[in-house]
Amino acid sequence: MRQQVAHKDYAVAIRTVISKMFIARGDGHIGGAFSIADVMAVLFNKYLREEPKDWFVLSKGHAGPAYYACLYLEHKIPKEAITTLNANGTILPSHPDRNLTPGVQCSTGSLGQGISQAVGIAYANKMKNTNAYIYCIVGDGELNEGETYEALEFASNKKLSNLIVFIDSNKKQVDGLIDDVSCKYHYQSLFEGLDLAVHIISGNDVDEIDATISEILTGKKDRCHIVVLDTVKGKGIPLFEKANNCHHVTFNETELKELAVYVEKNEGVVKDVLGIAK
Ligand SMILES: Cc1ncc(C[n+]2csc(CCOP(=O)(O)OP(=O)(O)O)c2C)c(N)n1
């Protein structure tokens, strides 16, 4: 296993690489990519193993750039690709495609379908008696898709203790607040009602995320775990944190400048992470 870096640095490196992709492209799903940078940092920096082969499924596939940033930091994709996000002929399409991008394990983007793949993978691994874990990130807006509950019912029925599902509760989806677009979610009772283990934590706090995963991995293996991440959409750059809508942004001059400032400030951290994650 490679040496770890500080989770906080890894998260900053993820946001910096995403910013580079968006500057080159001129637009992107920034809000939901930045809100999950901290959980992605903990997973890629510490938990995802090659042997036994763990699985990572980004069910909210529009946050693909966050996934690509991790794969770049893990030396799976080349530097030249970073400036080609969603361009013709790129290996980095807007949403993850396992046939195009080295290291991507599941193609996602149609909301509800990533979590459905994740439960299937977890069930197959359970039947084969592997020690692999399946980590899946689902959006809170994605929970508006009925398919997510069908998948979780299956996870409950099959007691998929090798599956950890993170809900990115950033409180906003594409066209407004979750509470307005659909309904207010009472996560504890909602998921306990499905007989799943529920953890509600600060989703932009790397230490709390790390402690929660560690507790799950060392605890009783009798059911699937749901970790609700209380996050901020656009977390990391105040301009986007405060925006009413930063789901998908075509960046104006001020926003591009803000991204460039972030990149300039944190380029050194990316180099440090790349150096250690060799
Ligand atoms: C089946 C399906 N319906 C609609 C969309 C369009 N869409 C893309 S992102 C999104 C909102 C998702 O909200 P959320 O899961 O909260 O994303 P986040 O705020 O975390 O980025 C929608 C409706 C889609 N990708 N797939």
Q: What one-character-per-residue DSSP string does 167-210 give? A: EEE-SEETTEEHHHHS----HHHHHHTTT-EEEEEETT-HHHHH
In whole angstroms, what is the distance from residue 161 CA to residue 240 CA? Answer: 36
The band of 278, judged by pLDDT with boundaries at 50, 70 and 90, is: low
CA distances to 69, 88, 121, 216, 221 from 33, in Å: 10, 22, 24, 25, 30
With respect to residue 172, please indicate whether it lies within any of the assigned structural domains.
yes
**How does pLDDT run across 243-261, given as a tens digit for each residue?**
999 999 999 999 999 999 9
The answer to whether 57 and 136 are in contact (CB under 8 A) is: yes
Residue nearest to atom 10 of ligand 1 (CA): 174
Using the atom order of ligand 1, give the atom closest to the CA of residue 145.
1
Q: Is the pLDDT of residue 77 over 80?
A: yes
Using the atom order of ligand 1, give the atom closest to the CA of residue 95.
25
With respect to residue 2, please indicate whether it lies within any of the assigned structural domains.
no
Q: For ligand 1, say whether the CB of 61 is within 6 Å of any of its atoms.
A: no
Pairing mode, strands 163-169 and 225-230? parallel
Q: Is the pLDDT of residue 223 over 70?
A: yes
Residue 57 host element (H or E):
strand 55-58
Q: For ligand 1, say whether the CB of 60 is within 6 Å of any of its atoms.
A: yes
Q: Where are the alpha helices (DSSP H) in the chain?
A: 7-25, 30-35, 37-42, 64-73, 113-127, 146-157, 178-181, 187-192, 206-218, 238-242, 253-276
Average pLDDT, the chain: 97
Is the sign of the CA dihedral 27, 240, 230, 268 positive or negative? positive
Residue 192 is predicted with a pLDDT of: 98
For residue 32, the enclosing domain spans 7-276
Average the pLDDT over 220-243 and give the result. Answer: 97
Count of CB atoms within 10 A of residue 6's CB? 14
Q: For ligand 1, say whether the CB of 205 is within 6 Å of any of its atoms.
A: no
Q: Is the pLDDT of residue 276 over 90?
A: no
Using the atom order of ligand 1, give the atom closest to the CA of residue 143.
15
Q: For ligand 1, say whether the CB of 142 is within 6 Å of any of its atoms.
A: yes
Strand-pair partners of 38: none
Q: For ligand 1, say whether the CB of 233 is within 6 Å of any of its atoms.
A: yes
Pocket test for ligand 1, best of 30, 35, 62 (most atoms within 8 A of CB): 62
With respect to residue 143, please indicate whether it lies within any of the assigned structural domains.
yes
With respect to residue 53, please indicate whether it lies within any of the assigned structural domains.
yes
Pocket test for ligand 1, best of 174, 185, 233 (most atoms within 8 A of CB): 174
Q: For ligand 1, say whether the CB of 110 is within 6 Å of any of its atoms.
A: yes
What is the domain count for the chain?
Answer: 1
Q: Is the pLDDT of residue 2 over 80?
A: no
Residue 240 is predicted with a pLDDT of: 98
Q: For ligand 1, say whether the CB of 168 is within 6 Å of any of its atoms.
A: yes
Q: For ligand 1, say whether the CB of 95 is within 6 Å of any of its atoms.
A: no
Q: Is the pLDDT of residue 1 over 70?
A: no
Q: Give the CATH number, domain containing residue 155.
A: 3.40.50.970
Contacts of 214 (CB under 8 A, 6+ apart): none
For ligand 1, the distance from its centroid to the CA atom of residue 272, given in whole angstroms, is 33
For ligand 1, the distance from its centroid to the CA atom of residue 228, given in whole angstroms, is 17
In whole angstroms, what is the distance from residue 53 CA to residue 74 CA? Answer: 15
Tokens representing 20 are 């580079």
With respect to residue 1, please indicate whether it lies within any of the assigned structural domains.
no
Contacts of 239 (CB under 8 A, 6+ apart): 254, 255, 258
Residue 150 is predicted with a pLDDT of: 98
Contacts of 28 (CB under 8 A, 6+ apart): 18, 21, 22, 65, 85, 86, 94, 248, 249, 251
Residue nearest to atom 7 of ligand 1 (CA): 174
For ligand 1, the distance from its centroid to the CA atom of residue 95, given in whole angstroms, is 11
With respect to residue 159, please indicate whether it lies within any of the assigned structural domains.
yes
Count of CB atoms within 10 A of residue 80's CB? 8
**How does pLDDT run across 122-160, given as a tens digit for each residue?**
999 999 999 999 999 999 999 999 999 999 999 999 999
Q: For ligand 1, say whether the CB of 174 is within 6 Å of any of its atoms.
A: yes
With respect to residue 247, please indicate whether it lies within any of the assigned structural domains.
yes
Q: For ligand 1, say whether the CB of 65 is within 6 Å of any of its atoms.
A: no
The band of 277, judged by pLDDT with boundaries at 50, 70 and 90, is: low
